[in-house]
Structure 1
Amino acid sequence: MIAQNNVRSTNNDPVESSESSPITGTSGTGAGASRLFRHFGSLFSPPAPSNDPAGYVEFGSISDPSASSGRTLGTFAGVFCPVALSMFSALVFIRVGFIVGNAGLYVTLLQFIIAYVILLFTVSSVCAISTNGAVEGGGVYFMISRTLGPEFGGSIGTLFFLANIVGCGLAISGCAEGIIQSFGPTGDAGTSGSIPDGRWWRFLYCSSINTLMLIVVLIGAEMFAKTSVVILGVVVVCLLSTYISFLTQGPIDVPLPHENHLVNFTSAWYTGLQADTLWANLYSNYTKDYTSNGNQVNFAVVFGVLFSGVTGIMAGANMSGELKNPSKSIPAGTLSAVLFTFLCYMALAVLMAATTTSTLLQNNFLFLAPINLWPSFVTIGILTATFSTGLSNLIGASRVMEALAKDRVFGPLMSFVVKGTYKGNPIAAVIASWVLVEAILLIGSLNTIAQINSVLFMLAYLATNLACLGIEITGAPNFRPTYKYFTWHTAFIGLLGTGIMMFVINSIYALSSIILCMFLVIALHLFSPASQGAQWGSISQALMFHQVRKYLLMLDSRKDHVKFWRPQMLLLVSSPRSCCPLIHFVNDMKKGGLYVIGHVKVGEFVDNDSSSDPTIEEYTQWLSLVDHMKVKAFVELTLSRSVREGIQQLIRIAGMGAMKPNTTILGFYDEEQSRDFFEFEESPYRTNEFDGNGVKLFPYRKSGETKALGAVEYVRIIDDVLRMKKNLCLCRHFHRLDKQMIARNNHIRYIDVWPVNIFDPKNEDPFDVVSQFMMQLACIINMLPVW
C-alpha cells in the first residue's frame, strides 16, 4: 500500500493542478440559553409549510380527524361482503362446471388449492401491511407505493387499476351471458317475446348493466356496502338451493345451448348422485370451448378461468378509505371471506362431479338452471353475483385512480380526478373508469377476458408479496405488523406462486404485463412529479443499506494488496463556488474509488446561535451541489474551532470501515483571486440554484478580504496529513482549467509528470514510491476519453 507521499503533479497546459485557497469556514455565535428557549419554543410553534402534494398521506401516519368523517363501514359490510361476492363472481354459477368437466375433479381440487394457497399468502402480506400503520384510501396501491416508492407503486397501481377495469368487464359479460341464457331465444324463458341475441345486442345489454353500476357507485360507497350485504344474502340463498337440488334431483335430460355447434347432439344427462358419474369425472378430459370459436381447452386455460373468479381478495382493501378501522377490518374480513368461498367452491365441485356427466359439463355452462328445484334461483344468483362483482371492481378502480391522482403520480394528467370529487366520492374517476369498462366490453369472449384479468391481478399480488418480502428482509425496525402469521416465508411463497402461475396461464400476457410494468417504472422515475419529492419512502434505500452494510463488514483493510490499489480521495473544499473545475478533475481521478468532499465550518458548537448543529442544515445544500456538479462523491462536514482541527477530524473519520480516504487533496496557498463559477457567463457550472432570498450559499473570499487561514497553519496542516500516513496532493491554477476546450481540441495532448521527491531531492530513481504514485494518477487520468 502506498502511504506518506508528498506529491506535486502538473500538466503541460497552463491548467496546472491548483486552487486558490484551501479551506475556510464561518464562525457561528450565540448564547446557549437563548438557543435552549428557542428550541422549546419551536415545539409549540406552528409546523413548517409542507412541500407534499395535496392529499398526500404517509404510510402509518394518522390523518386529520375531519378526513375520517366519511369512514362509516365495518368489517362485515365493508370487507367480508365485497370480498366474498368478488370471489364468487361469474365463476360460482357459470364456470365451475366448465372447470370440472374439462380438468376432472382431482385437477379441479388441485387448482383450487393452488389458487387459494397463492391467495392466502398474498392475503397474509396484505394483512401485514394493513396492520403496520394507518391505511388511507387507494387500497393495494397505497400499500405498495408507501413501501416500494412512487415508481413501483405507481406502475403496479396503474396495472391494478386496469385489472379492476378488466375484472368489471368480465363480471358484466358474465351477467349479460346469464341474461341471454335465461331469457334469450333458447333460454329457460325462450318464448316469442324473449329478448333478442347477437353480438351488438349483447354489447347493448352489457352497456346497460354498466350504466346501472355507474349510477349505484355515483351514489357513494355506503350505498355500495348496503347493496353488497343484500346481494350476498341473495347469492347464499341461491347457492344453497343449488346444493339442495344436487342432493334431491333425479336424472334429467338437459338441452344444450343453441349456439353450441361443436357437437351433433342436442341434449346431455344430469344423472343425480351416482358413483359411476363421480368415477367418470375424476380425471381430465379437455375438449373445445364452444363460447370462444372452438378453441382448445388445456390446464392453463382452465386455471386462468378459475383464478379470474377468485381474484377479489383486494375488494376489502380497496375500501380502506371508507372503513372505520381498516387495520382490523381488512385482515379479519378478508380471511373470513377467503375461507367461506373456498369451502363453497370445494363442495360445489364435488357435487357437480358426482351428479353431472362430463358431456353436459363441457357443453352447457348454465346447466344449473334446468336442474334446480326452482330455475329462477340460478338466474337470480348469476345476476346478483356478477353485478356485485362488477360494482366492487368499478368502485375499486375509481378509488385507485383517485389515489394516483392525489399523489400526482402522472402529474397534471389526472388533475381532473381531484377536482371532480364530491363529498369524498371521486365522481370523475368513476366516470373515467366506466368509459374504460365500455372499451373492455368490446372484446366479447368471457374466457379471453378471464386470462387477461388473471394475469393483471397476479402481477398486483406479486408486487404486494415483493413489497412485504423486501421490507421484512431489510429488517426495518418500523415494520411491526400486528398480524402475527406473516413471515418472509409466506411472502416468498406468495411471490413465487404468483410469478409461476402468471406464465402458466398465458406467457404472452404475462410477459407483456411485466414489460408494461417496467416501462411505467422507468417513465415514472424519469418524469413523475411524485418521484422527485423526498416524502416517498422507497424500499430500495432500505435494501441497499442492508447489502452495503453487509459487504462493508466483509471488506477487510488488512487484506489490501498493491495490485488492487486505487485512489480514495478526500478533497478539502473551502467554497465550491471557486473550485468547480477541481471538483470535476478529482472526480475523473478517483477511478471507481472513494471520493469524499470535505468542508470545515469554523465555530463553537455550544455558542452556535441555531437550534441544531449548523452542519445538519447545510448538508442537504452540499448534496444538491453534488447533484448539480454531476460527480460521484460523498459529503463530510464538520464544525470545529479551527480549520486545522477540523481537517484532522475529517481525515480521521471520513469514510467507513475499509473504505477510508488514502489521499488528501488541498488547494495551493497563494494570493490568487477566487472566481465564482456559478455566476460568470462562460462557466459550464453556471447556476442560480444556490442564490436564494438574497443570500448566496457557499460564500467565497472576495478581493480585499483577509484569508481565514494563515501560511503557518497551512504548513502545519500539510504536516498533519503526512503524519497521519495519507498521500497528499497540492493543486494549483485549476480555475484556469477548461475541460470543454480540451475536449474540443483534437491535436495530440500530453500529460507531463515530474517525478520529484521533495523529501529526497537527490534521489534519481524514477521508480520510487512517490514517482509511482504520480504515474498512477496520471495513468488514471489518461484512461478517460476526454484526456
Structure 2
Amino acid sequence: MGTLMGVYLPCLQNIFGVILFLRLTWIVGMAGIIQSLLIVLMCCSCTMLTAISMSAIATNGVVPAGGAYFMISRSLGPEFGGAVGLCFYLGTTFASAMYILGAIEIFLKYLVPQAAIFHASDHHGTDSAMLNNMRVYGSICLSLMAVVVFVGVKYVNKLASLFLACVIISIVSIYAGAIKSMTHPPEFPICMLGNRTLVRDRFDVCAKTVIKGNITVPSELWESFCSPGNMSSAQCDEYFIQNNVTEIQGIPGLSSGIIRENMWSDYMPKGEILEKAGLQSVDSHWSMETFSMYVSADIATSFTLLVGIFFPSATGIMAGSNRSGDLRDAQKSIPVGTILAITTTSLVYLTSVVLFGACIEGVVLRDKFGDAVNKNLVVGTLSWPSPWVIVIGSFFSTVGAGLQSLTGAPRLLQAIAKDNIIPFLRVFGHGKPNGEPTWALLLTGLIAELGILIASLDMVAPILSMFFLMCYLFVNLACAVQTLLRTPNWRPRFKYYHWALSFLGMSMCLALMFISSWYYAIVAMGIAGMIYKYIEYQGAEKEWGDGIRGLSLSAARYALLRLEVGPPHTKNWRPQLLVLLKLDEDLHVKYPRLLTFASQLKAGKGLTIVGSVIQGNFLDSYGEMQAAEQAIKNMMEIERVKGFCQVVVASKVREGIVHLIQSCGLGGMKHNTVVMGWPYGWRQSEDPRAWKTFINTVRCTTAAHLALMVPKNVSFYPSNHERFTDGNIDVWWIVHDGGMLMLLPFLLKQHKHIKIKHLTVTSFAVMVPLTMYLYRSLLLHLI
C-alpha cells in the first residue's frame, strides 16, 4: 500500500472519533474558545512530537506486528517494552469501551430514546437509570462486536472505508452548516425563564399562557411550575412568578457576534443550572420540585478534567506504523502519512472550536445532551442539510472505531505473549490455526466490559488517556536515549528528527498526565512499574539490545571521570576492599568466612573486589580460571557480598597477587584496603614460598600505600545467620616503630553484642582514615 491508503486514511479514521461529535461543543462551552484552543494545541502538539519520534524509529528498520510495543522493547529492553506494551494494550482496550459507550449514548439519546429499559421515577434517578441502560446495551454491543472480530478481520477491514466515509461526510456537513448560518441560521429556539435555560421537550409552547378560543388558559409550562387550579388561586414557584419567559435563538449564526460571549471559560459545579449572562432576571426562591425543568450540569468541570476527556481524540497516530510490513515504501510513507494526518485533524479541531464558539449560543454549548434544543445532538444543530447526518454518521463512525480497537488490541497482546517475556500471558499467544488471537480476544472483551460497567464516557476517557500518554512518553524516551547514547544501530532516515524534540514530547506527555488527573497518572505509573519489576524478577533475557544498559554505562563512565578529579575527603572515606582468596585443588574457596567478614564490615556499601590467583600458563589454564571465577561468584552470592570477581593466571602466586594489587579497579573506583588470610603453619612449612608470599604481599601493600587487614582464626568468625545474646567489646591500641598496630573487634552489623576478634592494620598513611571509619561505624552500631 502507498501513503494515502496505508497510512494517511487509517490514521485519520483512528484519530477522528466520538469526542469530536459528542463532547467538543461542551468543552468549548465550558472552557471558552481561548482555553479550548489551548487544550487542542497541547494535545495535538504532544501527538505531533510523538509522531516525529515514531517516524524516526519506523525509519530505523521494519516494524512488524506489535507497533509501539515492538519499538520500545527493541530499544529499551524487554522490561520497558513489556510494561509499556501492556499499558498500550490496556489503553486500546479501554478505547474500544469508550467508542461503544459513545455509540450507545447516541443510540439512546438521539436515535431511539424509547428503547431505554430503565426509567427514572424522579429527576434524581435519571442518572442511575441512564447508566444502567448504558451497561445493558453496551454489553450487548460489545458481545456483537467481539463475534464480528472473531468471525474474521476481513469484514472489519471491508467496513473500514464505509465508516471513514461517514466521518468525512459528517465533518463536511458541519462546515457547510457553519457557512450557511451566516445568512440562514437554523431554527432551534431556546426557552428561557429569566436567565435560566429550560428543558425544551417538557412543554409545547414557550409561554406561561396560551389562547384557546379567545380564552387565555395556562400552558403546559405553567402547569409544570404551579399546582393544579385556576390561574388566580394556584400556588406557583416563586421564581416562575417573578421572571418572564423568553425565547432566544440557539444557533445565531457565524455573523451574529456571539463569539465574544463564548470567548471565556464558564466552569460549573455539579447540579448548577445553565444561565445566560445579560438576560434580565429577578433572584428569588425556587422550589426543588421544579429543578427537573431546568438544564443543569451533570458533572463538575475544570480545565484539567477537560484535558483528560479531550486527549483520546488526538490518539490513533500509530495506525500507520503498525502496518509497516504492508507498505510499499515504509521509510517514506510512515512519516509523511502520519504527520499529514495529525496536521489535518489538528486543523479540523482548531477550526471546529472557533466555528462552534462563533455560531452556537453559550447555554447550548454547555448543554452536554441537547436538552435545551429538544434533545438534539448539539453539533447536529449546526450541520447541513439535517441534524440526522451527524447523528447517523457519528453512530457508524463510533461503531467502526470500536471494531478497529477490538481488532488491534488482541493482536498487540498476542505479540507480547509470543515474545514470552511475561510467563502468565503465554496462553494468549495461541489462537485459531490461521493465527487469529482467540484467547487474547476473550481477555480483551472481559477488560473492555469493565469499561462498559463504568458506563460513563467522561470517566473512561481519562483512564485511556493515561495509558496512551504512558506509551507516547516511552516512545519519546526511547528515541532520546538512543540518540544521546549514539547507539551504533540507531540510524533513522527521518531527517527532521532531533533528540530535543523527543525530550520535549516526553516532557509534554508527563505534564499532560498530571494535568489531566494526577491520581490516575500515579496509578498508571504504578501499574507500569509493577510490570517492569515482574519482568525483571522473571529474568527475561532477549537479544534485543538494552538502551537502559547503555545509559548505565554512560552514567558510570561520567561518574568514574568525576572521581578522578581528586582524592576523597576524610568524611567520604570508606574501605574499598580487595579480598584475596585461596582456592583448594578442587577450586573451592578455602576460607569463605573472609567473605562473611567483608560483607559485615562493608554492610553492602562501597567497593568490594574478590581476587584469586591460579598458578600456571594463561593459554592452558583459561578454562580453570573461568571455573574459579564461577565458584567465587557462587560463594559471593551465598555470603551476600556485592562486588566484583577478578581471577588472574600467573606463573607464581606472589606475582599474581602483585598484579591484583596493582591493576584491580578502574579510575577512582580502586581498592584502598587489602584483606588476606593468616598464613597458618608458615614457620613449619618446608616450602619457602609460603612465608615469602605473605611477606611479599605485606611489602607490596605498604609500598602501594594501602591498608592491610589480616584476620586470624577467621574460620571461627560468626556467619551472617548467627546471632549472639551476650559478649564484650575490647579496644586495644599498640604503637610500634613509628607505625601503628591496631587490634580491634570485627564490626558485625546485625549483632547486638560483639565478641573479641583481632584485626591487624599496617601503613601509617591510611591508618587515620581507616581508624575514623571503623570507630564511626562502631559508634553508630552501638547507638
Please give the TM-score of this superposition, normalised by the length of structure 2. Answer: 0.74
Q: Is the 8 A contact 1:292 1:447 kept in 2?
A: no
Q: Secondary structure at the match of 1:296?
A: coil
Corresponding letter in the other structure for 1:747: D
Answer yes or no: is 1:668 the counterpart of 2:675.
no
Change (3 A) 1:110 1:767: closer
The aligned residue for residue 415 of structure 2 is 403
Q: 1:652 aligns with which of 647, 656, 662?
A: 662
Aligned equivalents of 1:406 and 1:708: distance in 2? Answer: 63
Q: 1:470 to 1:374 in 2, by over 3 A?
A: same
Give distance in 1, aligned partners of 2:17 and 2:742. 89
Residue 567, structure 1, aligned to residue 575, structure 2: yes
The equivalent residue for 2:617 is 604
Residues 620-673 of structure 1: CA distance to partner in whole angstroms, max 9, x if unpaired?
Answer: 66545533432121222333333333323222221111221222233333469x
* Structure 1 residue 407 displacement after superposition: 3.7
Q: Does 1:389 align with 2:384?
A: no
| 8 Å Cα contact 1:588-1:784 kept in structure 2 | no
Q: Is the 8 A contact 2:658 2:700 kept in 1?
A: yes
Alpha-carbon distance, 1:373 to partner? 1.1
Aligned CA-pair RMSD: 4.0
Contact 2:708 2:762 in 1 (8 A): no
How far does residue 449 in structure 1 lie from its aligned partner after superposition?
A: 1.9
- Looking at structure 1, the residues matched to 166 and 741 of structure 2 have their Cα atoms a distance apart, in angstroms, of 102
- Identify the residue that residue 334 of structure 1 maps to in structure 2: 338
Distance 1:361 1:774 in 2: 75
Asked whether the 8 Å contact 2:253–2:359 carries over to 1, the reply is yes
- In structure 1, the partner of 2:123 is none
What's the CA shift for 1:446?
1.7
Matched residue type, 1:125:
S
Flag the 1:421–1:615 CA change in 2: closer, same or farther, 3 A: farther
Q: Which has the larger radius of gyration?
A: 2
State the AA in 2 paired with 1:643: V
Structure 2 match to 1:233 = 165
Matches within 5 A, 1:254-293: 254=188, 263-265=198-200, 269-287=250-268
Q: Secondary structure at the match of 2:494?
A: coil
Per the TM alignment, residue 359 of structure 1 is displaced from its structure 2 partner at its CA by 3.0
| Secondary structure of 2:318 counterpart | helix
Where 1:270 maps in the other structure, the secondary structure is coil
Letter in 2 for 1:353: G
- Number of aligned positions between the proteins: 662
The alignment partner of 1:417 has SS state of helix
Q: Which residue of 2 aligns with 1:595?
A: 608
| Cα distance change of structure 1 residues 767 and 573 upon mapping to structure 2, 3 Å threshold | closer
* Farther off after superposition, 568-577 or 732-741: 732-741
Matching of residues 660-699 of structure 1 within 5 Å: 660-670=670-680
Q: How does 1:49-60 map to 2 (within 5 A)?
A: none
Matches within 5 A, 1:702-717: 711-713=691-693, 715-717=695-697
The one-letter code of the counterpart of 2:726 is H
What is the DSSP-based 3-state SS (H/G/I as helix, E as strand, rest coil) of the residue aligned with 1:314?
Answer: coil
Distance apart, 1:429 and its partner CA = 0.7
Q: Distance in 1 between matches of 2:385 and 2:689?
A: 99
Per-residue Cα deviation, 1:92-123 (whole angstroms, up to 9, x for no partner): 32222222233233322222111111111122
Q: In structure 2, what is the equivalent of residue 253 of structure 1?
A: 187
Whole-Å separation in 2 of the counterparts to 1:478 and 1:778: 49
AA in 2 matched with 1:655: G
Write the deviation string for residues 274-296 of structure 1: whole angstroms up to 9, x where unpaired. Answer: 14233333333445789996223
Greater Cα shift, 621-630 or 372-381: 621-630
Amino acid at match of 1:486: Y
Matched, 1:730 2:724: no
- Work out which of the residue numbers 298, 302, 305 in structure 1 matches 2:302: 298
5+ long unaligned stretches in structure 2 = 116-128, 202-246, 272-294, 371-375, 744-760
1:45-75 deviation digits (Å, cap 9, x = unpaired): xxxxxxxxxxxxxxxxxxxxxxxxxxxx665
Does residue 210 of the first structure (1) align with residue 142 of the second (2)?
Answer: yes
Between the aligned partners of 2:677 and 2:83, the Cα distance in structure 1 is 48
**TM superposition score normalised by structure 1:** 0.74
Give the alignment partner of residue 652 of structure 2, picking from 625, 642, 654: 642
2:384 to 332, 353, 372: 372
1:544 to 552, 575, 580: 552
Kindly report which structure 2 residues correspond to 1:406-555, keeping only aligned pairs within 5 A, or say none.
406-412=418-424, 414-420=425-431, 422-526=433-537, 529=538, 531-533=539-541, 535=543, 537-555=545-563
Aligned residues of 1:303 and 1:505 also touching (Cα < 8 A): yes
Residue of 103, 111, 119 corresponding to 1:175: 103
Distance in 2 (CA, whole Å) between partners of 1:455 and 1:274 is: 40
Distance 1:747 1:288, change over 3 A: closer
Confirm or deny: 8 A CA contact 1:665 1:728 kept in the other structure: yes
Q: Name which of 80, 85, 108 aligns with 2:8.
A: 80
Range with greater deviation from structure 2 (428-437 or 177-186): 177-186
Q: Is the 8 A contact 1:603 1:639 kept in 2?
A: yes
Relative distance call for 1:89 and 1:662 in structure 2 (3 A) is same
User: Displacement, 1:739?
Assistant: 2.5
C-alpha deviation, 1:262, in angstroms: 6.6
User: Which residue is equivalent to 1:739?
Assistant: 719
* 1:108 maps to 2:36: yes
Distance 1:735 1:336 in 2: 73
The letter for the 2-side match of 1:113 is: L
Q: Structure 1 residues 660 and 181, CA, compared in 2 at 3 Å: closer, same or farther?
A: same
Query: Paired residue for 2:347, among 334, 340, 343?
Result: 343
CA distance in 1, matches of 2:773, 2:111: 86
Is 1:630 equivalent to 2:640 in the alignment? yes
Counterpart residue type for residue 749 of structure 1: N
Q: Which residue matches 1:156?
A: 84
Corresponding residue of 1:120:
48
Give the deviation of 1:778 after TM superposition: 5.7
- Report the CA distance between 1:777 and its aligned residue: 7.5
Distance in 1 between residues matched to 2:2 and 2:617, nearest whole Å: 58
Counterpart-to-counterpart distance in 1, 2:112 and 2:17: 21
Contact 1:571-1:598 within 8 A present in 2 as well: yes
| Aligned residues of 1:751 and 1:778 also touching (Cα < 8 A) | no
The whole-number CA distance in structure 2 between the counterparts of 1:293 and 1:101 is 12
**SS of residue in 2 equivalent to 1:639:** strand
Cα pair 2:66 2:411 within 8 Å, conserved: yes
**Any stretches of 5+ residues in structure 1 without a counterpart?**
1-72, 188-196, 673-705
Q: 1:324-347, CA deviations, whole angstroms, 9 ceiling, x for partnerless residues?
A: 776655433322221121122223
SS in 1 for 2:178: helix
Worse-matched range after superposition: 221-230 or 637-646 = 221-230
Contact 2:734 2:740 in 1 (8 A): no
> Structure 1 residues 606 and 331, CA, compared in 2 at 3 Å: closer, same or farther?
same
What percent of counterpart residues are identical? 28
2:599 and 2:639 in contact (8 A); partners too: no
CA distance, structure 2, for counterparts of residue 628 and residue 77 of structure 1: 60
Query: Match for residue 361 of structure 1?
Result: 365
Q: Which AA in structure 2 matches 1:273?
A: L
Mapped to 2, the partners of 1:565 and 1:464 lie a distance apart of: 41
